[in-house]
């Protein structure tokens, strides 16, 4: 059973499916989570605190997924390709993660604002961490790369950056891979997109390749990059 904090974060995320962040009301979030408004304010302090917590949870979930894929019993280059492919699909399905990775925020999203200077620290450790602010795109990519260990960090960074270039300017539209929801499609609503109640994409445990051609290209590049004496990517 989710904690009150997780229930409130889930309710806030669900609300974003139907309305922009500016129209999301704290009273409605508390009602949908079946907790009191006082509990909501105890957990997050304010609507801005809730926004920071949403962004922090999204970044943490992404990094956890990256670590899970890197730990899979497969050749390292294949795991890095899996990270790239999953990044493309997850960012396509989760607007908040896409904004965190690309810094392309829309008016519909809860872009976190910094905590006011001199503001009292939140009483809850989880909120104090959230109030530190979400990682910038470069920091999030660096954290993902560090999860691969020293030997493969440069290759992991390359894989994630290749994925983000596809997120920003996809070379092949989803429709070219099959109609959404049709058998065999690899788009957001297909084999990888049959996700949870909020229509967002599956977690890494149910990951499967989305674009075999992209996988092949990534594996070829990584086989060169990760075996070269260079340790960093310019």
Domain assignment present for 232: no
Domain assignment present for 231: no
Q: Is there a single domain that holds both residue 184 and residue 100?
A: yes
Domain assignment present for 17: yes
Q: Is there a single domain that holds both residue 39 and residue 93?
A: no
Q: Is there a single domain that holds both residue 7 and residue 117?
A: no
> What span, in angstroms and rounded, lies between the C-alpha atoms of 47 and 172?
38
Over its length of 234 residues, how does the chain's per-residue pLDDT go in tens digits? Answer: 789 999 999 999 999 999 999 999 999 999 999 999 999 999 999 999 999 999 999 999 999 999 999 999 988 888 998 999 899 989 988 999 999 999 999 989 998 888 888 888 999 999 999 999 989 999 999 999 999 999 889 989 989 998 898 888 765 544 444 444 433 333 333 333 333 444 344 556 545 555 566 667 666 766 665 545 544 444
Q: Give residue 214's pLDDT.
A: 63
Cα–Cα nearest to 50, from 15, 17, 18 = 15
Q: Give residue 57's pLDDT.
A: 96
Q: Give residue 116's pLDDT.
A: 85
Q: Is there a single domain that holds both residue 67 and residue 91?
A: yes
Q: Is there a single domain that holds both residue 195 and residue 84?
A: yes
Which H or E element spans position 86?
helix 76-93
Q: Is there a single domain that holds both residue 158 and residue 129?
A: yes
Domain assignment present for 233: no
Q: Give residue 59's pLDDT.
A: 96
Q: Give residue 130's pLDDT.
A: 95
Q: Is there a single domain that holds both residue 169 and residue 98?
A: yes
Q: Is there a single domain that holds both residue 104 and residue 217?
A: yes
Domain assignment present for 38: yes
Query: What's the CATH code of the domain at 25?
Result: 1.10.10.60
Domain assignment present for 116: yes
Q: Which domain holds residue 133?
A: 54-225
Q: Give residue 197's pLDDT.
A: 41
Helices within the chain (DSSP H only) = 4-18, 26-33, 37-44, 47-70, 76-93, 95-102, 125-131, 137-146, 149-168, 212-225
Q: Is there a single domain that holds both residue 147 and residue 214?
A: yes
Q: Is there a single domain that holds both residue 7 and residue 81?
A: no
């Amino acid at each position: 059973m989710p904690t009150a904090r997780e229930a409130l974060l889930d309710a806030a995320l669900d609300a974003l499916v139907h309305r922009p962040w500016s129209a999301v009301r704290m009273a409605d979030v508390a009602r949908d989570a079946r907790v009191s408004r006082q509990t909501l304010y105890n957990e997050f302090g304010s609507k801005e605190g809730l926004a920071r917590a949403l962004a922090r949870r999204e970044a943490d979930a992404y990094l956890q997924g990256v670590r899970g894929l890197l730990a899979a019993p497969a050749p390292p280059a294949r795991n890095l390709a899996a990270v790239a492919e999953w990044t493309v699909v997850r960012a396509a399905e989760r607007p908040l993660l896409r904004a965190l990775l690309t810094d392309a925020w829309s008016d519909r999203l809860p872009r976190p604002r910094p905590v006011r200077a001199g503001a009292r620290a939140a009483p809850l450790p989880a909120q104090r961490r959230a109030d530190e602010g979400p990682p910038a795109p470069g920091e999030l990519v660096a954290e993902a790369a560090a999860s691969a260990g020293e030997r493969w960090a440069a290759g992991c960074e390359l894989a994630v950056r290749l994925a983000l270039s596809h997120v920003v300017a996809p070379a092949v539209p989803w429709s070219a891979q099959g109609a959404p929801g049709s058998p065999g499609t690899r788009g957001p609503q297909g084999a990888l997109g049959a996700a949870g109640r909020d229509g967002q994409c599956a977690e890494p445990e149910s990951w499967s390749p989305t674009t075999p051609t992209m996988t092949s290209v990534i594996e070829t590049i990584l086989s060169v990059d990760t075996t070269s004496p260079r340790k960093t990517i310019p």
